[in-house]
């Protein structure tokens, strides 16, 4: 018998002939946060992203290019295919190796959505977001998202996301609590996270 059959057999034996009721899962938590008005949702998003010691810039669509230019000034920068905004002096993602990406200072990307309750941006690595390594190896990540992309809480985010794509949920710069359980920002992932929130997008 294969290990697979053995394990499945042991599982069935362990559960036995007892009836297998399916417990009702209370889902009332899903309604929480729905009632908040948009400006409160956005204010909470900004407050909570900043709480992780990330930088947030709010601007209008017409100002994005200018904000991005200022954010990466003086640094080498890479951009994913499909990024809707110009970034001065940037190089395109041409499939650079990890070591090559390590020599680049910054990356600018779009995002799939933002979560106000937890101050999170989620990438699903679609157009404008690039493959996963691109937003991981450079030390500065500038992430642009529109106000309409910000949802209230985790349930709304999960409902919108498609699990067929890989995802990276990002809440602040890389950090660790491993030394005396004190939080320190800046380990292996980007040590600086800059979120650009575009109010009229």
Partner 1 sequence: MTGTFVGMPVFPKAAREAVGDSQLRRNLAHATGTIRAKRAAVVGEVEEWEELRLAGAAIKENVLLHLDEHLVRLEESLTKAGATVHWASDAEEACRIVGDIAAAHDATEVVKVKSMATQEIGLNEALAARGIDAWETDLAELIVQLGDDLSSHILVPAIHRNRAEIREIFASAMGEVGRPAPDDLTDEPARLAEAARLHLREKFLRAKVGVSGANFAVAETGSLVVVESEGNGRMCLTLPEVLVSVVGIEKILPTWDDLDVFLQLLPRSATGERMNPYTSVWSGVTPDDGPQEVHVVLLDNGRTRALADEVGRQALRCIRCSACLNVCPVYERTGGHAYGSVYPGPIGAILNPLLKGVGHDDQTDSLPYASTLCGACFEACPVRIDIPSVLVELRSQVVDAHRGGVPKPEAVAMKAAGATLASGRRLGLAERLAGTGIRLARRVGARPWTQARDLPDPPAESFRAWWRRTGGDER
At its nearest, how many Å lie between partner 1 and the CB of residue 93? 10
CA 54: distance to chain centroid?
Answer: 13
Q: Which of residues 111-130 bind partner 1 (CB under 8 A)?
A: 115, 117-120, 125
Min dist CB 113 to partner 1, Å, is: 13
> Interface with partner 1 includes 94 (CB under 8 A)?
no
Closest CB to partner 1 among residues 59, 194:
194
96-109: burial string, b at 16+ Cβ within 10 Å, e else? beeeebeebebbbb
Tell me which residue of 126, 115, 129, 141 sits closest to 42, measured CA to CA.
Answer: 115
- When asked if residue 1 is in the footprint of partner 1 (CB under 8 A), the reply is no
43 contacts partner 1 (rule: CB under 8 A): no
Strands 192-198 and 140-146: parallel
Min dist CB 64 to partner 1, Å, is 25
Instruction: For the segment 11-40, give every residue that binds partner 1 (CB under 8 A).
Output: 11-16, 20-30, 32
Compute the distance between CA of residue 2 and CA of residue 10 in angstroms, rounded to an integer: 12
Q: Which residues contact 30 (CB under 8 A, 6 or more apart)?
A: 155
- State yes or no: residue 70 binds partner 1 (CB under 8 A): no
């Amino acid at each position: 018998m294969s290990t697979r059959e053995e394990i499945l057999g042991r599982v069935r034996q362990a559960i036995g002939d007892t009836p297998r009721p399916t417990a009702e899962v209370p889902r009332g938590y899903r309604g929480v946060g729905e009632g908040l008005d948009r400006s409160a949702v956005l204010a909470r998003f900004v407050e909570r992203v900043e709480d992780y010691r990330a930088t947030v810039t709010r601007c209008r669509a017409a100002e994005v290019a200018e904000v991005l230019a200022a954010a990466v000034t003086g640094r080498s920068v890479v951009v994913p295919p499909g990024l809707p905004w110009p970034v001065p002096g940037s190089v395109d993602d041409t499939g650079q190796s990890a070591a090559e990406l390590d020599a680049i200072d910054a990356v600018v990307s779009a995002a799939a959505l933002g979560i106000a309750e937890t101050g999170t941006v989620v990438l699903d690595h679609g157009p404008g977001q690039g493959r996963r390594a691109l937003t991981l190896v450079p030390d500065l990540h500038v992430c642009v998202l529109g106000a309409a992309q910000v949802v209230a809480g985790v349930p709304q985010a999960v409902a919108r996301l498609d699990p067929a794509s890989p995802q990276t949920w990002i809440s602040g710069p890389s950090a660790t609590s491993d030394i005396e359980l004190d939080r320190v920002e800046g380990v292996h992932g980007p040590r600086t996270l800059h979120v650009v929130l575009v109010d009229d997008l």
